[in-house]
Amino acid sequence: MANKKSEEGLTVKKDENFSEWYSQVLDKAEVTDMRYGVKGFIVIRPWGAMAMEKMYSLYEQALQKRGHKPTFFPVVIPEENFKKESEHVKGFAPDVFWLEKIKGESRLALRPTSETAMYQMYSIWIRSWRDLPLKLYQRANVFRYETKATRPLIRGREFYWIETHDVFATKEQAEEQVQEDIRTTEEVMHQKFGVPFLPMKRPIWDKFAGAEYTVAADTLMPDGKILQQPSTHLLGQHFAKAFNVQFKDEQGKEQFAWQTCYGPAISRILASVISTHGDDRGLVMPFCISPVQVVIVPIFNKDNKEKIMKEAEKIKSVLEKQNLSVELDSREEKRPGEKFYEWELKGVPFRIELGEKELKAKKILLSTRDTGKKELVPETKISQIQKLGEQYDERLKAKADHFMDGKTVNCKTKEELKKAVKNHKIARVNFCSVEKPGTRCAEIIEKEVGADVRGTMANKNEKPKAGEKCIICNKPAKEIVYIGKSY
Ligand SMILES: [Zn+2]
């Protein structure tokens, strides 16, 4: 069905009104539909779903390469399991959707996350040190009763993610897993999808409920606000003790296991991909996840339709043999100009035009979405599309990196901090502590600056010089923290 609205195109510029641009691009490029009618629940349309399928696939390949295996667990969690780890239940209970009306049975939680679903099974499966490490992941939708304003793909009451749940014999192995998870985020979200991030070890007051510590990937939206992407948690032995996840070590002694979990939210990463790369003409999809990587638009009239379609079909089949996602747009009810416009709005990386003139010269007109470049090239160029696609993704990433690089500034005083936050930057400052004693300074920053302490760099050892003071309380600074406004 034709969507009248999409023909109107975007009516705002991305850097003038990002929020409105974002809503329009999701709607007009047919990524999501907001008309389902239940707060926080949205419909993801085929264009969004096809991109997410590819994102899932690339993510899962990266996890499998590092020894993870897939599993599927039920969406419901028995209330008694959910309540086993006390910090976890305190943190998550307000967010839970409960299924209440099953006659004669106890309440069931719709999973907000699956620790309490999976670990009772882990306690059955794991017997000895030979069963470790156990590294499993599942593709899942999870449910959280958000009371804050919801934003499509960014914050909703249902979202789509992957959750990994890993078990180790030692704390060192579990901590190494946290670092591996940061590298997975780097390999997939940054290197493939082109979304840069800061790996932040969260302050103690901002860790996952039930974890020893949390590392989260902070990304930057075009409006300067931080959006949290995958986080990974060192669960320590909290859940192992609550769920009795034990193993016999090599000496035959029973030990509690060490656990981690990691949760890349594919729907939310799609929000970052769209926001990071899109422009005033619509989406700019990375080549590696675009539902259509190459669109062929044949330009014909009644007389030459047959021979042009034949050549277009041939080009399509050559491209498909290279495992590319190709669409041949032969609709007759649309003019070529309308088709160009529509595929640009949807962010398709490459467009091939083929008409009488090109056919005669054995050439094609090749347009590239990100640069807007349009060139007449020999038809044989189609054998290089894969390589051109890789270069295309490199350009998107370089542009995003450049944006991110300019956004972090060192601040020495509260005034500088205020100014940085006001200018939509991430401030890097000396800070007293990311343990309990730092809570008060973080509250002051929240109240007076309107920003959050996001944490310390998780994969580098950054420490203040001797004698440096906390930017707020003037006590000796033990940490360098990053501060910004978040979604
Ligand atoms: Zn302080």
464 Cα–ligand 1 center, Å? 13
pLDDT, average across residues 156-172: 98
- Output b/e per residue, 156-185; b: 16+ Cβ within 10 A: bbbbbbbbbbbbbbeeeebbebbebbbebb
The pLDDT > 90 percentage for the chain reads 92
430 Cα–ligand 1 center, Å? 9
Q: How confident is the model at residue 110 (pLDDT cuts 50, 70, 90)?
A: very high
67 Cα–ligand 1 center, Å? 42
Measured from the Cβ of residue 280, the count of other Cβ atoms closer than 10 Å reads 13
Name the nearest CA neighbour of 111 among 101, 97, 90: 97
465 Cα–ligand 1 center, Å? 16
Find how far residue 433's CA is from the centre of its chain.
Answer: 29
Burial (0-12, 13-18, 19+ Cβ within 10 Å), 401 = middle
Asked if pLDDT for residue 205 goes beyond 60, the answer is: yes
Asked if pLDDT for residue 3 goes beyond 90, the answer is: no
pLDDT tens digits, one per residue of 5-33 = 445 689 999 999 999 999 999 999 999 99
443 Cα–ligand 1 center, Å? 10
451 Cα–ligand 1 center, Å? 15
Rounded distance between C-alpha atoms, residue 194 and residue 273, angstroms: 7
7 Cα–ligand 1 center, Å? 54
458 Cα–ligand 1 center, Å? 20
pLDDT tens digits, one per residue of 387-414 = 999 999 999 999 999 999 989 999 999 9
pLDDT, average across residues 88-109: 86
pLDDT, average across residues 197-212: 95
Asked if pLDDT for residue 1 goes beyond 70, the answer is: no
Which tokens hold the place of 339? 């088709």
At residue 209, the pLDDT reads 87
pLDDT, average across residues 407-431: 96
pLDDT tens digits, one per residue of 221-273 = 999 999 999 999 999 999 999 999 999 999 999 999 999 999 999 999 999 99
Indicate the range of 41-50, 205-214, 308-317, 425-434 predicted with least confidence. Answer: 205-214
Euclidean distance between the first and final Cα of the chain, in Å? 35
Rounded distance between C-alpha atoms, residue 158 and residue 40, angstroms: 7
At residue 9, the pLDDT reads 86
486 Cα–ligand 1 center, Å? 21
471 Cα–ligand 1 center, Å? 7
470 Cα–ligand 1 center, Å? 5
Asked if pLDDT for residue 4 goes beyond 70, the answer is: no
At residue 469, the pLDDT reads 97
